[in-house]
């Protein structure tokens, strides 16, 4: 069976890398105790630590987007990561006293990326399992 175009998936994955780069810059330079955004409080070490992870995710997305058919498993990894983040964010907003809703919009953006990944993978002819189980060359 011939696959349809995975270009929309690749473009979305690349754009989500830009989103993670923006998050990295925010965590590296803006978020943290004594910085512009410090609610909730976060130790600068952890803000920089998180920023470095966002840079890694962005790098992964940028390079994977250029050969999305081969690296489609990376899309599945980001699906899990983004879903976990959204759940953690909204559970904290609901159940942790005085947790600010400052980053509520990021949950909306991240879940939107997850939905677009899945939709564009399906439109591109991929089975959902191909996002989560790497194909063995053979």
Average pLDDT over residues 29-53: 79
**What is the domain partition of the chain in residue ranges?**
7-129
Q: Average pLDDT over the chain, rounded to whole? A: 90
pTM for the model: 0.88
User: Is the bond into 37 cis (omega within 30 degrees of 0)?
Assistant: no
pLDDT tens digits, 52-103: 999 999 999 999 999 999 999 999 999 999 999 999 999 999 998 888 888 8
User: How many CA atoms, within 13 angstroms, populate the side-chain half-sphere of residue 26?
Assistant: 12
Residue 65 makes CB contacts below 8 A (sequence gap 6+) with 10, 11, 13, 14, 17
């Amino acid at each position: 069976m011939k696959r349809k175009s995975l270009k929309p998936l690749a473009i979305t994955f690349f754009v989500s890398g830009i989103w993670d780069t923006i998050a990295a810059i925010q965590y590296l330079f803006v978020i943290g105790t004594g910085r512009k955004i410090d609610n909730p409080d976060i130790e600068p070490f952890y803000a920089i630590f998180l920023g470095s992870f966002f840079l890694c995710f962005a790098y992964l997305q940028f390079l994977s987007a250029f050969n999305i058919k081969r690296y489609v498993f990376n899309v599945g990894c980001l699906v899990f990561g983004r879903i976990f983040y959204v759940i953690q964010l909204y559970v904290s907003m609901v159940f942790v006293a005085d947790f600010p809703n400052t980053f509520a919009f990021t949950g909306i953006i991240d879940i939107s990326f997850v939905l677009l990944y899945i939709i564009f993978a399906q439109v591109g002819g991929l089975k959902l399992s191909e996002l989560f189980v790497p194909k063995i060359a053979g």
